[in-house]
Amino acid sequence: MTNIPAPSAGVAAGATGPASISKGMVPAEREAAAAAAEVLLTGDVAVVVLNVTSVGPVFTWGNAAFERASGYTLAQARERYGQILSPGYQPVVRAQFAEHAIDGQPFTMTLPLVRRDGSEISVPVTITPMRDETGTLVRFVAVQQGGLEPVATPPPDLGYHSRNALETVARVSDILAEVNDEQALDAIVRLLTRHLYTWCGFFADDGVLKPIGGLTAVGRGAKQGPRGRSAADPEDPVGRLFAATSMRRARIAMDAVEVPGSASAQLVDHVRTQMGASLKPGGELLVLPLLVRGRALGLLAVLVGGLDDAEGSEAVLELVARRVGQAMDHRQLYEAEHRVAEALQRAMLPEQDQIEGLDVWTYYAPNAEHAQVGGDWYDVVHLDDRTVGTVVGDVVGHDVEAAAAMGQLRSVVRAFATELVDPGRVLTKVDRILENMRMRRPASLVYASLTPCDEDAGTWSLAYSRAGHLPGLWISDGEVRELDGAPGRLMGFGIEERQTATVRVKPGDAVMFYTDGLVERRSRTIQEGVGLVREILVDVVAASSSATTAADVGEALLSRLSEPPEDDIAVVIIRFPQPAGQDGADVPREAYWRLAADVDSVRMARRLTVSTCEVWGLANTMAAELVVAELITNAVVYGWGSVGLTLKDAGDGLRIEVQDNNPVPPTPLEVHPARVGGYGMHIVTRLADWGWRPSGVGKVVWARMRPEIPQDLV
């Protein structure tokens, strides 16, 4: 090995060395760099260089601080490199080097070193992989990042294997905290087989013994297999562990003959298949339950035999099993809370009545980072035969309490809206009720009522009142104005009379109400977001040469505001078309059905589509029927809960919307001759322009039919 007395010598070899760094420097910069290198060489921070060789990293050079800390000269350190690192930790350290040699990223760890006098010290370091001009890894540079801590002398009977096991347990905890739930168990298997055992695996009871690699793959109890049995079997040593209420172990000899089909036999067969010719005779399986709160969520199995101190590692293996069990239990508890939150949210999903004479588009999306539950909501409802009410509100928070407060506020607003209609009077009454309810969450909202004007067909009177909420936007005659009248405090803060503002909207106008989640991001202010929305509205509505539907506006907003939302979002867009019976009438015809998540719903949806298209006088009925069938089939097969089907005719083609409660978007599968099915979205793509958007806890898949059918599909 080459001695490296200073950075300008051996360390400079390669593109990352100081020699390459100094290229292009002016004399003053080179002098400053030399001064910095001098401090690094002679200061109190230990620096070590390890060259990469065919046998792994090898100690090459260390500075004066390293010599003082270790008690070794450089020559002694190079000669005794294998003795400097505590022997029980060497495999773990080597594994860390091997992992980061691939990704090339700096990493931190604590190295336990044995000093020349026999004492041990703990050194926190940052280790940086270095590559040459060709990109080949040539060395690691370790720099001390903290003080040196003495390590207590271990008991004399704590040997190499036990030290390695204890370090491995610590690494298991890191994996459970850092690695994705779907990959955590696979990562632990790699760790255990790298340092302790010949083979390792995790299993769950899925009617048969089922290998698992992630925390989310664990079942919620024993399942019946195809022959009516479960992997849990009181007559079988491995099967008994699934019913264990306290920690116990089972040992299964690899050459023993187990009852065919039993969990023990399945486990032995699995290991034999996995190990193949590398399986040595005389091995033994050690199996432990993943125990938590008196129940086993799965099993941990390892292959022992031929390892020093294997008996001493059983206690460590028990610790691993308990920690994995706790992690699985926490995951299940989280999923249970998630399901409760989703059920609550579904019960409180916004509502939109079918409004004759108005073109309405609504959108709701809770922030996915907060358990799919939040405090934003909207309603568009009939207050009486002539009046339509709409409300958009925002209760602070993203948890179950916020959703509960939202439900209370929403119910109160809706009740008084039906009785009083006038927005200012409605919110004043709600304030007084909330004062007695002592709702602990602040809330903002805007409530508006729309009434047709008798003296001017197609014109509507829009009355509204705001409670600490962003102004709505009014698009008219190519301009976007703010509905900033009737401002007021947040809901529940005082009982003073609130005001009502009124405007008249005419055919061709549109209004939009929304919550701040639509416009606010960490990268921009609310004012900047509102300005961007105004620009989009001008582009889509005011600059459009043809009739633009409320859905067109909404989809354009979602596509242009493409950043992931950081808060809940609720949006209502209402467009006022020309009334039916007048020249240029453009009232969109709309039909909506709620269908069960059942195969029969596909046939029903096809019949409804055909009959509706015939009544509306639309062409290409067969193509629309085919698209609806594919979208409804996907919603029934892959969605959750009931399915919503909406057909809209805005004059420029049929628009189809299918809603379900699965948030995962549809994906066209790659065409393959061996695949059965999976071509539905390819058919939809040939016949229509389509897309999707989040909606509530699920999604809406929409399709706009093209006027012509491809000839090969006729």
- The better pLDDT of the pair 432, 447 is held by 447
Same fold, 161-339 and 588-714: no
Mean pLDDT comparison of 129-133, 244-248, 472-476, highest-scoring range: 472-476
What pLDDT was estimated at residue 482? 94
Give the pLDDT mean for 172-183: 79
Predicted local confidence at residue 494, as pLDDT: 82
Average pLDDT, the chain: 79
- Reported confidence tier of residue 226, pLDDT bands at 50, 70, 90: very low
- Tell me: pLDDT of 567 over 90: no
661-674 pLDDT tens trace: 887 877 765 544 43
Residue 503 above 90 pLDDT?
yes
Residue 392: enclosing H or E segment and its boundaries?
A: strand 388-395
What architecture is domain 36-153? 2-Layer Sandwich (3.30)
What CA–CA distance (Å, rounded) separates 556 from 475?
Answer: 15
Res 501: pLDDT: 96
Residue 483 or 55, more confident: 483
Q: Which residues of 605-623 are buried (b: 16+ CB within 10 A; e: fewer)?
A: bbebbeebbeeeebebbeb
pLDDT band at 10 (very low <50, low <70, confident <90, very high): very low
C-alpha–C-alpha distance, residues 697 and 662, integer Å: 7
The topology under which CATH files domain 161-339 is Beta-Lactamase (3.30.450)
Q: Answer yes or no: is pLDDT of 115 > 80.
A: yes
For domain 350-586, the CATH class is alpha beta
Give yes or no for residue 224 having a pLDDT over 50: no
- SS3 for 87? helix
> What 3-state class would DSSP assign to 15?
coil
Length of the chain: 714
- Predicted local distance difference test score (pLDDT) of residue 23: 58
Q: Torsion angle, CA of 356/357/359/365, rounded to 10 degrees?
A: -30
Q: What are phi and psi of 44, to 5 degrees?
A: -95, 0
The two tokens of residue 334 are 């989280």
In this predicted structure, the answer to whether residue 9 has a pLDDT above a threshold of 70 is: no
Q: CB within 8 A of 493, min separation 6: which ones? A: 431, 442
Query: What is the spatial distance between Cα 113 and Cα 77, in angstroms, rounded to a whole number?
Result: 12
Taking the domains of the chain in order of start, what are their residue ranges? 36-153, 161-339, 350-586, 588-714
CA distance 565 to 652: 31
Higher pLDDT, 306 or 651: 651
In the chain, % of residues over pLDDT 70: 79
Of residues 73 and 316, more confidently modeled:
73
Averaged pLDDT, 88-104 = 72
Domain 588-714, what fold?
Heat Shock Protein 90 (3.30.565)
In this predicted structure, the answer to whether residue 306 has a pLDDT above a threshold of 50 is no
The top-scoring range by mean pLDDT among 64-73, 107-116, 540-549, 694-703 is 64-73
Confidence at residue 632, expressed as pLDDT on a 0 to 100 scale: 92
- At 419 the pLDDT is 86
